[in-house]
Amino acid sequence: MLGAPGAGKGTQAQRIAEACGIPHISTGDIFRANIKAGTELGKKAKEYMDRGALVPDEVTIGMLLDRIHEKDCEKGYILDGFPRTIPQAENLTKALAEEGTRVDAAIDIEVPDENIVKRMGGRRACPKCGATYHVQFNPPKKEGICDVCGSSLVVREDDRPETVKKRLSVYHEQTEPLIAYYRKAGVLKTVDGTKDMDQVFEDIQALL
């Protein structure tokens, strides 16, 4: 799954996974599972994370390959949040090729930056119970108040316009080049992410 932060990758990946009966694999989940299980790769990843450093690609790909060898991946899987850079994509291509397999499709959810800033700026979260809302797409029954526990809603640091713009500039610099990489590989599929969520899902299903 490709697309800027806030484009809806995670939501769509989850829906495709459910519709196709295949696992939705996010690197965050893999890290947590390996650290919890105390695997060798998990211990290595934890050392880097504890220092606030990025986990090296070879450790991440090692965990990923272990994960896709599990039984639930026999019919396929969806990668969300990896690869994020060209070197990661090249390493993944090489590792998969050695196993006689490859990425079948790279789905890019296209959303202009201004839409993302507006979309993420409208998010509201409950600091007490964790429920999330959106002022336009999923508003609480009473403005500024959580439906679940009645606490006052807040704008998370991650959703503030200045933070979103910073995250977008990192995306354009590091991750956007993957679009050209997978286009050259002949596996890129592009959908318009500004449409209604259900329509985006239908468009992705049609492409697959």
Cα four-point dihedral sign 185, 82, 33, 60: positive
Is 124 tagged catalytic?
no
Q: Given the residues 15, 119, 123, 124, select the one marked as catalytic.
A: 123
Type of residue found at 44 = K
Is 9 tagged catalytic?
yes
Total length of the chain: 208
Q: Given the residues 15, 44, 67, 84, select the one marked as catalytic.
A: 84
Type of residue found at 73 = C
Q: Given the residues 128, 160, 167, 189, select the one marked as catalytic.
A: 167
Measured in degrees and rounded to the nearest 5, phi and psi for residue 193 equal: -80, 0
CA-nearest of 129, 114, 131 to 6 is 114
Is 84 tagged catalytic?
yes
Q: Given the residues 46, 118, 128, 156, select the one marked as catalytic.
A: 156
Q: Give me the residues paired with residue 78 across strands.
A: 24
Active centre residues (catalytic): 9, 84, 123, 156, 167
